[in-house]
Amino acid sequence: MDYKSGGGGVPVVDGTEYAEVNRQVDALEAVELALDSVVKVFTVSSSPNYFLPWQNKPQRETMGSGFVLPGRRILTNAHVVADHTFVLVRKHGSPTKYRAEVQAVGHECDLALLTVENEEFWEGMHFLELGDIPFLQEAVAVVGYPQGGDNISVTKGVVSRVEPTQYVHGATQLMAIQIDAAINPGNSGGPAIMGDKVAGVAFQNLSGAENIGYIIPVPVINHFLDGVEKTGKYVGFCSLGVSCQPTENIQLREHFHMHPEMTGVLVSKINPLSVVHKVLKKDDIILAFDGVPIANDGTVPFRNRERITFDHLVSMKKPNEMAIVRVFRDGSELELSIRLRPLQPLVPIHQFDKLPSYFIFAGLVFVPLTQPYLHEYGEDWYNTSPRRLCERALRELPTKAGQQLVILSQVLMDDINAGYERLSESQVKKVNGVEVENLKHLCQLVEDCREEGLRFDLEDERVIVLNYNRAKVATSRILQRHRIPSVMSSDLIDDQVSGTEAEEVACSIS
């Protein structure tokens, strides 16, 4: 990194003072760059209510930061604009707020792109360029609009660690840069500047610790931007879809006949929907990824004597890009070509910017199991939500495409369903003997029922039986009683149905 003299005649006594002077100079340069490039983002958002999926929670106002990239784009955090209904931006020194549109959002990497149509906004704006990953102990300046004031703020820090970290917003493991400076609310989305370029985007801090913040590094930012430029939308991050175990134990290595010089990780579980399901096998030893050898602890070389988990190499591959995986199987080494792609979990980790799905019949409210549904049980949702549902959400893998775990979330009480209220928060296994694939399938099975009785088989061998015709009549009065506008969410209605016909379909069983 090139350090410049401050020109203020400050004597340099030793290396410590020299470093401090340089950090001050970097901060001053960061301010000069930021004044015409960093903006304040004002978001009005309204999140869904997963316990009452036909309603939204009250709208709330939040603030964050963003900065301008070439091409008249504003980069910010996804969590700054999540579930947005209205977004405004304001540049430094201006009293005017301009309407912004969200062009693309990547919730896994916590990044979003905004655009502003008003030409006046772009007058005098300076575009920031992306740099490289900073080395350990290099100084960065985080610029943004933290809460507690309305003016721009600069927080100085040095890089203390570069490694994959779980992003709080999207719950995804991606590379992150740790710095010894707090990322306060409102700073999110602001640039971390090193020299005259952006080293990353501020996005979260470490809870329970002081002055430890994280920034999203340039490789993750470029992966997000490249996908948007090529496809016009967020494309996601690739995954092998396997769980691996370290092979550090000598007895484990001997059991699988690994040679002394051989290193790698043991494949213990494979997602049935992953691209490697028919390529890799359980008990394979993954030795290398794209020619990079994998150590027994699952790490690969990174920069100057640093190491990083090999998952980083996987996540940085572009969707549909080929990768060469070398494995050790039954005493032989194999080289396998794999076309990578993103992989969706059985139970969605997040559901931002979309309405939840639901279907109501005879007061029985059916929804797909999602982690946001479990989050409604509070911050300590892992301990307060139904244990069986929580375990399925975190551990169960899909067996076929489009599969969902459908649950009976609650029972809206009525004469028709009296006695069934204690069966809520249970997974629905079958409808009239047919296994349920997803919520839309359950809806079709109910609507296509031609028998007098309708039977739902739940987990733990519990059963709900309803008279179909009486239940249809009851559905109408239950919806009116609870002021629920539709028997099902709009995503369950066939996309080819017109608006007028959609209303008829939505109310067809009421």
Q: What does the DSSP 8-state code read for residue 460?
A: G
Which residue is catalytic, options 26, 92, 107, 110?
A: 110
Specify whether the CB–CB gap between 487 and 507 falls below 8 A: yes
CA distance 259 to 249: 13
Residue 334, C-beta contacts closer than 8 angstroms, at least 6 positions apart:
326, 327, 328
Residue 500: phi, psi to the nearest 5?
-65, -45
Which residue is catalytic, options 37, 45, 79, 510?
A: 79
Sign of the C-alpha dihedral computed for residues 221, 227, 229 and 233 taken in this order: negative
Find residue 465's DSSP bridge partners: 455
Question: Is 79 considered catalytic here?
Answer: yes
Specify whether the CB–CB gap between 418 and 292 falls below 8 A: no
Question: Is 255 considered catalytic here?
Answer: no
Nearest 10 degrees: Cα torsion 474, 477, 480, 484: 0
Q: What angle do CA 163, 164, 169 make, to 5 degrees?
A: 130
Which residue is catalytic, options 188, 385, 426, 510?
A: 188
Residue 103: phi, psi to the nearest 5?
-85, -40
Question: Is 110 considered catalytic here?
Answer: yes
CA distance 107 to 94: 30
* Nearest residue to 203 (alpha-carbon basis) of 67, 311, 88: 67
Specify whether the CB–CB gap between 61 and 43 falls below 8 A: yes
Burial of 362 (0-12, 13-18, 19+ CB in 10 A): buried
Find residue 216's DSSP bridge partners: 201
Residue 155: phi, psi to the nearest 5?
-115, 125
Residue 435: how many other CB atoms lie within 10 Å: 11
Q: What does the DSSP 8-state code read for residue 162?
A: E
Residues marked active site are found at 79, 110, 188
